[in-house]
């Protein structure tokens, strides 16, 4: 019998702990498919964050390390500078990357570290039970913004791609989404490019994947995907925010 | 000195912690010393949940229950995990619509209550927990049934006041249940 | 009489802090203490207070430093890995002699560890954590009621001695609910002439600082600070003695471990073993006098802890090694059962420590 669908080699054959309807499983799969297709599973070293994806070290079959909260880009820098021949990536959430780890993120980008960053933005802290994230939308109700995020009190959401694309440093900054088939396919292309860039030595590539958290948003998975479309994507538009190589070629 | 240690276990979403809170508040109302200790972990829907409730007429020592007087098992893994920890002479409440297995021990009292099915049949699908709690009250005179409406009102957030009546209905169903 | 209400330990800390006059809370989410932040997020805006979720633990402790220097009753809370991040700020707060309350609802370590209850930050809390010569008052609640009363006490002591009070709790006491009353809250207030309020052109400027480039000045500063610490050691040790009157063996345990140990002590008494319990409530200052006095009475000690054996070093130190000290402990988020503690007591009765 012909096998028409199977797990990528780079993804371990064990159940993921994610809640029903959580897109982390899809995004893990995209990363794993890309590792397979580029034939880099054996060279890849992944850095897991603190947050819902903390146990990603069990899920990817490549070598993995668990970083302290927010420090994944620094840990990845250490690895890449020692082993430039390896493919080093981080997989981080919004609290990890855009709150406690913002300094590490910005400076890794500014140094154009030749690493790949997968940034999953679901506008909330999942693992700790639904607190306000740096990317929570204005008015969004969370455990620590019980009256809705008041931008006059705790500031505005951070648009990571827009911000990082102002830096000279990074090679490639793109935002994608994991809410429907079309967007998932597009997300995979961006992730593949982010790894391809590293293979070619081009430098820091970050792909932000706009995702959903049905559990902590208090929605069904279907409602959550709709909310991504209706509320998240208008605030966090999909697109390529920086592509140095493409820009250079266009300028020729 | 009378101390009752109640272990409630099942899936997340079955109201395990809520049923425990209800019994703890009921104990508080009866002027008992009480403690309520939940299992806690990463937020995962569908994971296992349990809670330890201790009711006593003297100050509660350790809030952690290793040998319960009462076990409420809301799913099979919970029954299998804890059945042998119940003290001889203790009670086990089994949601028999979710658990086919029978308790083989003969030194404990076992109550099989098809709580989940009863809840469905009565249009209160999420309140199997309170049906079992109602039956437990019936067997524990130190807690009694009087004043339960005040306890439920305390536990249900004002926004969901309609749930008070449904919880009372569940408790009553449990109270009236005979095998 | 004030009403008895059921509250989670974490919520009791938050409510007590508000009653103690704390109107400024800065924190960052981490399990198993997030209820404190959630409670503050709900309550503070309604009472004119400030709840702010910082971008990191490092930022939050530095916000605390700023608010403390401004003369406010201020707090932060976290759990073990987050406290390690706050260590830098704790040292600056100590070096600048400003008062603050810091809560550590401990979980298993080291590293990211786990999220289940632990007492493995005893060394970090009582022996330093940050750099430099400094101390913190370390309060170890064993019940939800004490989560509240020691929070209020912690604010009072911090203001009185111009230092940090740390509530060293654990995941169990943070998550459990018990009845609690707030009737006895005794709020002390202290003048803070050193606070940054603006001179209003009416006084010389105040400087809150921990930098002293001249070594002789820094030495004097540290010595002055240690004079204050000496007063804390004289005046503030707190402990509970349980069945110690005729005890021939002494169990030493704090926090949740003491609750388990109490069950074991009762069980051992039922077997005719004369055993008692000393429960340090302040871990710094450690109740040395109580321990030393017991050392002249009992055959030996058993330290019951949720770690690989940390407080046991202080038990040995302050009993001057007069009697043997055994260890009964679990770690990593595991909690010893009363039976395990009872077994240690039985062994100690036979002279095995």
Mean pLDDT of C109-126: 96
Q: Is the pLDDT of residue C1 over 60?
A: no
Q: What pLDDT is recorded for position B46?
A: 64
pLDDT given for residue B12 in this prediction: 85
User: Same domain, yes or no, for C17 and C104?
Assistant: yes
Asked whether residue C157 falls in the same domain as residue C68, the answer is yes
Together in a domain, C192 and C280: no
Q: Nearest residue on chain B to C179, judged by CA atoms?
A: B34
- Hey, are the CB atoms on A215 and B43 less than 8 Å from each other? yes
pLDDT at B41 > cutoff 80:
no
Structural domains in chain A (count): 1
Report, as an integer, the average pLDDT of C184-213: 91
CB-nearest to B45 from A52, A128, A215 is A215
Place of tokens 């690493």: A115
What are the tens digits of pLDDT across the range A94-149?
Answer: 999 999 999 999 999 999 999 999 999 999 999 999 999 999 999 999 999 999 99
User: Predicted confidence band at C344 (pLDDT cuts at 50, 70, 90)?
Assistant: very high
Task: Please count the structural domains in chain B.
Answer: 1
Average pLDDT (C183-204) is 90
Asked whether residue C211 falls in the same domain as residue C278, the answer is: no
Looking at the structure, tell me whether residues C209 and C266 fall in a common domain: no
Same domain for C174 and C123: yes
Asked whether the beta carbons of residue B21 and residue C6 sit closer than 8 angstroms, the reply is yes
For residue B70, give Cα distances in angstroms to B88, B95, B133. Answer: 10, 14, 11
Residues linked to residue A87 through DSSP beta bridges, in sequence order: A44
Q: Pick from A127, A130, A142, A213 the residue to mutate for testing the B interface (most B CBs within 10 Å).
A: A127
Q: Exposed/middle/buried for C67, CB within 10 Å: 0-12, 13-18, 19+?
A: buried
Q: How far is A91 from chain C (nearest CA, A)?
A: 17
Q: Which two tokens stand for residue A197?
A: 């860039």
- Cα dist from A225 to A132, A214, A228, A248, B140, whole Å: 19, 8, 5, 36, 47
Which pLDDT belongs to residue A4?
83
Which of C30, C31, C55 is nearest residue A102 as measured by Cβ atoms? C55
Shared-domain flag, residues C220 and C280: no
Q: Find the mean pLDDT for residues B165-177.
A: 96
* Helices of type H across B64-114: 76-82
Give the dihedral of Cα atoms C339, C340, C342, C348; nearest 10 deg: 160
What is the CATH number for A243? 3.40.50.970
A127 in reach of chain B (CB within 8 A): yes
pLDDT at B43 over 60: no
C106 and C194 belong to one structural domain: yes
Q: How far does B40 lie from chain C, in Å, by closest CA?
A: 8
Parent domain of C167: 5-235
Phi-psi region of C201 (alpha: psi -120 to 50; beta: other; left: phi over 0): left
Domain containing A190: what range?
24-251
Per-residue model confidence as pLDDT tens digits over C134-152 = 999 999 999 999 999 999 9
Q: Is residue A171 part of a domain?
A: yes
pLDDT value at position C244? 98
Flag whether pLDDT at B44 surpasses 80.
no
pLDDT at B141: 85
Q: Quick one: pLDDT at residue C3?
A: 84
How far, CA to CA in Å, does C167 sit from each of C71, C174, C235? 20, 11, 18
What percent of chain C lies above the pLDDT cut of 70? Answer: 99
Tell whether C337 is within 8 A of chain B (Cβ). Answer: yes
Nearest to C17 by CA among C124, C179, C153, C207: C153
**Residue B142 banded pLDDT, cuts 50, 70, 90:** confident
Flag whether A128 is in a domain.
yes
Give B91's pLDDT tier (boundaries 50, 70, 90).
very high
Q: What is the CATH number of the domain that holds C256?
A: 3.40.50.920
Contact by Cβ (8 Å): B95, B74: yes
Residue indicated by tokens 């994971």: B47
Per-residue pLDDT tens digits for C45-84: 999 999 999 999 999 999 999 999 999 999 999 999 999 9
The Cα–Cα gap between C293 and C327 comes to: 20
Contact C56 A100 (CB under 8 A): yes
pLDDT-derived band of residue C183, with 50, 70 and 90 as boundaries?
A: confident
Instruction: Tell me the C-alpha distance between A53 and A126, whole Å.
Output: 9
- pLDDT surpasses 90 at C172: yes
Q: Which of A94, A144, A151, A156 to mutate to test the interface with C (most CBs of C within 10 A)?
A: A144
Hey, is the C-beta of C115 within 8 angstroms of any chain B C-beta?
A: yes
Task: Write down which residue in C235, C263, C292 finishes a domain.
Answer: C235
Domain that holds residue B110: 3-176
CB C106 within 8 A of CB C66: no
Q: Looking at the structure, do residues C205 and C269 belong to the same domain, yes or no?
A: no
Predicted pLDDT at B144: 86
- Express as a percent the part of chain C with pLDDT over 90: 97
Binary contact (B28, C179; C-beta < 8 A): yes
- The 10s digit of each residue's pLDDT in B151-160 is 999 999 888 8
What confidence score (pLDDT) does residue A252 get? 86
Angstroms from B2 CA to nearest CA on chain C: 14
The last residue of one of the domains, among C171, C204, C235, is: C235
Higher pLDDT, C211 or B46: C211
Q: Which residue has the higher pLDDT, C340 or A6?
A: C340
Interface of B with C (CB under 8 A): 21, 24-25, 28, 33-38, 40-42, 60-64, 66
d(CA C168, CA C141) in angstroms, rounded, equals 7
DSSP for chain A reads --------TTB-SS---PPTT-THHHHHHHHHHHHHHHT-TTTEEEEE-SSGGGGHHHHBSSEEEEPPTT-HHHHHHHHHHH-TTSEEEEEEEHIIIIIITHHHHHHHHHTT-S-EEEEEE-SEETTTTSEE-TTPPTT--BTTBTT---HHHH-PPP-HHHHHTTSSS-SEEEEEE-SSHHHHHHHHHHHHHHHHHHHTT---EEEEEE---HHHHT--HHHHHHHIIIIIHHHS--EEEEEHHHHHHHH-
> Residue C225: which pLDDT band, with cuts at 50, 70 and 90?
very high
Residue B62 and residue C259: Cβ atoms within 8 Å?
A: yes
pLDDT of amino acid A3: 84
pTM summary value: 0.93
Helices then strands, counting H and E runs in chain A, come out as: 12, 9
The conformation of residue C299, written as its DSSP 8-state character, comes to S
By CA distance, what is C84's nearest residue in A? A68
* Burial category of A11 from C-beta neighbours within 10 Å (exposed 0-12, middle 13-18, buried 19 and up): buried
Q: How many residues does chain B have?
A: 179
| pLDDT above 90 for A189 | yes
Q: Using an 8 Å Cβ cutoff, are B136 and B109 in contact? A: no
Distance CA C37, CA A142 (A): 12
> In the prediction, which pLDDT does B45 show?
62
**Minimal CA–CA distance to B160: which of B62, B40, B18?**
B18
Cβ separation of B38 and C172 shorter than 8 Å? no
Structure tokens at A88: 């080093």
Residue A45: what are its φ and ψ, rounded to 5°? Answer: -130, 120
Residues C154 and C80 in one domain: yes
**Helices C338-349 and C255-270 meet at what angle, rounded to 10?**
60
User: What are the structure tokens assigned to B104, written together?
Assistant: 């083989």
Over the stretch C85-105, which tens digit does the pLDDT of each residue have? 999 999 999 999 999 999 999
pLDDT tier for residue B165 given thresholds of 50, 70 and 90: very high
Which strand (E) or helix (H) includes residue C169? Answer: strand C164-170
Chosen from C177, C242, C260, C261 to mutate, greatest number of chain B CBs within 10 A: C177
Contact criterion met (CB < 8 Å) for C37 and A66: no
Range list of H helices, A93-209: 94, 102-110, 151-154, 160-164, 181-199
Contact call for A19 and B42, based on CB within 8 A: no
Average pLDDT of the residues of chain C? 96
- Looking at the fold, whether C74 and C20 belong to one and the same domain comes out as yes
Q: Any idea what the CATH number is for the domain that residue B22 is in?
A: 3.40.920.10
**In chain C, which residues have their Cβ closer than 8 Å to the Cβ of B35?**
176-178
Residues 6+ apart with CB under 8 A from B18: B129, B130, B155
């Amino acid at each position: 019998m012909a096998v028409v669908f199977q797990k990528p080699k780079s993804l371990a054959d064990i159940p993921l702990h994610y809640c029903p309807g959580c897109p982390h499983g899809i995004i893990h799969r995209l990363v794993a498919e890309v590792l397979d297709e580029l034939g880099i599973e054996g060279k890849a070293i992944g850095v897991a964050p603190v947050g819902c994806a903390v146990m990603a070290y069990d899920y990817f079959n490549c070598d993995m390390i668990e970083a302290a909260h927010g420090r994944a880009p620094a840990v990845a820098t250490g690895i890449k500078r020692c082993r430039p021949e390896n493919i080093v990536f981080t997989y981080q959430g919004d609290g990890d990357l855009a709150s406690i780890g913002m300094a590490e993120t910005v400076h890794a980008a500014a140094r154009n570290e030749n690493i790949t960053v997968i940034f999953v933005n679901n506008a909330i802290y999942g693992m700790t039970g639904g607190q306000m994230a740096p990317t929570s939308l204005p008015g969004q109700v969370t455990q620590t913004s019980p009256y809705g995020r008041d931008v006059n009190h705790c500031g505005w959401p951070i648009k990571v791609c827009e911000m990082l694309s102002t830096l000279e440093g990074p090679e490639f900054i793109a935002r994608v989404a994991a809410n429907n088939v079309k967007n998932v396919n597009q997300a995979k292309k961006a992730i593949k490019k982010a790894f391809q860039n590293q293979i070619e030595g081009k430098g820091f590539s970050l792909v932000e994947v706009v995702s959903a958290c049905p559990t902590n948003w208090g929605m069904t998975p279907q409602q959550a995907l709709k909310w991504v479309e209706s509320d998240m994507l208008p605030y966090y538009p999909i697109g390529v925010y920086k592509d140095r190589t493409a820009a250079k070629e266009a300028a020729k | 000195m009378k101390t009752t240690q109640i272990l409630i276990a099942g899936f997340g979403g079955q109201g395990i912690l809520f049923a425990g809170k209800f019994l703890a508040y009921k104990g508080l109302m009866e002027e008992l010393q009480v403690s309520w200790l939940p299992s806690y972990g990463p937020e995962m829907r569908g994971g296992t949940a349990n809670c330890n409730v201790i009711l006593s007429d003297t100050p509660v020592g350790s809030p952690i229950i290793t040998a319960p007087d009462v076990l409420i098992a809301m799913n099979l893994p919970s029954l299998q995990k804890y059945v042998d920890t119940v003290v001889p002479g203790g009670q086990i409440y089994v949601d028999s619509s979710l658990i086919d297995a029978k308790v083989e021990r003969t030194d404990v009292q076992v109550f099989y209550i098809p709580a989940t099915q009863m809840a469905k049949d009565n249009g209160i699908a999420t309140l199997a927990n309170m049906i079992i709690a109602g039956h437990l009250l019936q067997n524990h005179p130190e807690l009694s049934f009087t004043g339960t409406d005040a306890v439920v009102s305390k536990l249900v957030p004002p926004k969901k006041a309609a749930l008070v009546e449904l919880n009372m209905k569940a408790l009553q169903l449990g109270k009236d249940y005979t095998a | 009489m004030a009403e008895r209400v059921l509250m989670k330990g974490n919520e009791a800390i938050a409510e007590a802090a508000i009653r103690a006059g704390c109107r400024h809370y800065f924190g960052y989410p981490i399990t198993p203490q997030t209820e404190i932040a959630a409670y503050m997020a709900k309550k503070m805006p309604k009472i004119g207070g400030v709840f702010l979720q910082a971008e990191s633990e490092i930022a939050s402790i530095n916000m605390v430093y700023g608010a403390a220097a401004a003369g406010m009753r201020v707090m932060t809370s976290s759990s073990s890995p987050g406290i390690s991040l706050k260590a830098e700020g704790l040292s600056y707060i100590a070096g600048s002699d400003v008062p603050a309350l810091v809560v550590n609802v401990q979980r298993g370590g080291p590293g990211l560890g786990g999220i289940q209850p632990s007492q493995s930050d005893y060394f970090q809390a009582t022996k330093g954590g940050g750099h430099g010569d400094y101390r913190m008052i370390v309060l170890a609640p064993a019940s939800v009621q004490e989560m509240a009363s020691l929070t209020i006490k912690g604010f009072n002591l911090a203001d009185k001695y111009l230092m940090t009070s740390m509530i060293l709790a654990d995941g169990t006491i943070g998550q459990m609910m018990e009845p609690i009353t707030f009737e006895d809250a005794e709020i002390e207030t202290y003048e803070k002439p050193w606070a940054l309020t603006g001179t209003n052109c009416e006084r010389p400027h105040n400087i809150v600082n921990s930098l002293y480039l001249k070594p002789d000045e820094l030495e004097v500063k540290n010595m002055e600070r240690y004079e204050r610490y000496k007063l804390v050691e004289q005046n503030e040790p707190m402990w509970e003695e349980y069945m110690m009157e005729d005890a021939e063996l002494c169990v030493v345990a704090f926090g949740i471990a003491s609750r388990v140990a109490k069950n074991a002590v009762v069980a051992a008494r039922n077997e005719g073993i004369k055993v008692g319990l000393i429960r340090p409530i302040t871990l710094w200052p450690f109740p040395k006098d109580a321990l030393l006095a017991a050392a002249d009475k009992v055959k030996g000690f058993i330290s019951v802890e949720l770690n690989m054996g940390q407080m046991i070093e202080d038990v040995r130190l302050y009993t001057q090694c007069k009697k043997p000290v055994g260890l009964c402990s679990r770690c990593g988020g595991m909690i010893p059962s009363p039976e395990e503690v009872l077994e240690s007591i039985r062994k100690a009765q036979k002279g095995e420590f």
